[in-house]
Amino acid sequence: MSQLHFYRFYLEFGCLRKAFRHKFRLPPPSSDFLADVVGLQTEQRAGDLPKTMEGPLPSNAKAAINLQDDPIIQKYGSKKVGLTRCLLTKEEMRTFHFPLQGFPDCENFLLTKCNGSIADNSPLFGLDCEMCLTSKGRELTRISLVAEGGCCVMDELVKPENKILDYLTSFSGITKKILNPVTTKLKDVQRQLKALLPPDAVLVGHSLDLDL
């Protein structure tokens, strides 16, 4: 059962949620999952491409993958660079209103155990959050954390502290029916995040300033 399936039919799995106290998340199976299970050997492995696929790309394919206009390529170039080259600076984080220690309006943010020793081999984690609108503004309803290998290490529904005015279902997929039985609070996922993230973790995401 995938996590997407579990949360889509969250209420129907009430018996599972009561019978089992722990959820174990595994990385997604390979494309040869069925063959791996029954012990079959696939006919073609990586590197054993048909002859028709060998050789240089056709000229029209080369034109289609010209990335010189891509803003990331323009900023960093096309040569491989280390992870530390791609990090936001403190000034960039200030510009984009990231919550930073010592900055105004960030007194109530909970800090992770980051020690600042980021290296090119530091672990990456993708973070994404879904929000709703409450009487106090935007509040968390779901948080997901994915390790760089593709394994989901955290995926939790969260009950806001204040009265919900709009579930923002069209964006989040969260509804009143899904969230009603949830007892997990913001402080619970903050505690989990502090335990999960190593001191040199690097977060990756879209609009991370809002998620944080």
| Structure confidence by residue, pLDDT tens digits, 13-28 | 777 767 777 767 666 6
Is residue 140 very low, low, confident or very high in pLDDT (cuts 50, 70, 90)?
very high
| Percent helix / strand / coil, the chain, rounded to 5 | 35, 15, 50
* Domains parsed from the chain with CATH numbers: 83-210 (3.30.420.10)
End-to-end CA distance of the chain: 29
pLDDT in tens, 71-95: 777 777 778 778 888 899 889 998 9
Name residues whose C-beta falls within 8 Å of residue 83's C-beta, 6 or more positions apart in sequence: 118, 119, 120, 121, 122, 124, 202
Mean pLDDT of 33-49: 54
Rg of the chain over Cα atoms, rounded to whole angstroms, equals 22
d(CA 40, CA 34): 8
pLDDT score recorded for residue 203:
94
Is residue 54 very low, low, confident or very high in pLDDT (cuts 50, 70, 90)?
very low
Token couple for 36: 């791996």
Contact indicator for 112, 190 with CB cutoff of 8 Å: no
Predicted confidence (pLDDT) at residue 52 exceeds the cutoff of 50: no
Taking the CB of residue 196, how many other CB atoms lie within 10 A of it? 15
**The residue to which tokens 């954390």 are assigned:** 145
For residue 144, give the nearest of 97, 112, 192 by alpha carbon.
192
Strand 164-166, strand 152-157: pairing: unpaired
Mean pLDDT of 206-210: 90
pLDDT score recorded for residue 16:
74
Mean pLDDT of 144-169: 92
% of the chain beyond a pLDDT of 90: 37
pLDDT score recorded for residue 90:
87
Mean pLDDT of 51-56: 44
Taking the CB of residue 33, how many other CB atoms lie within 10 A of it? 9
Predicted confidence (pLDDT) at residue 205 exceeds the cutoff of 50: yes
87, 104, 133, 209 from 96: Cα distances, Å: 13, 14, 22, 7
pTM for the model stands at 0.63
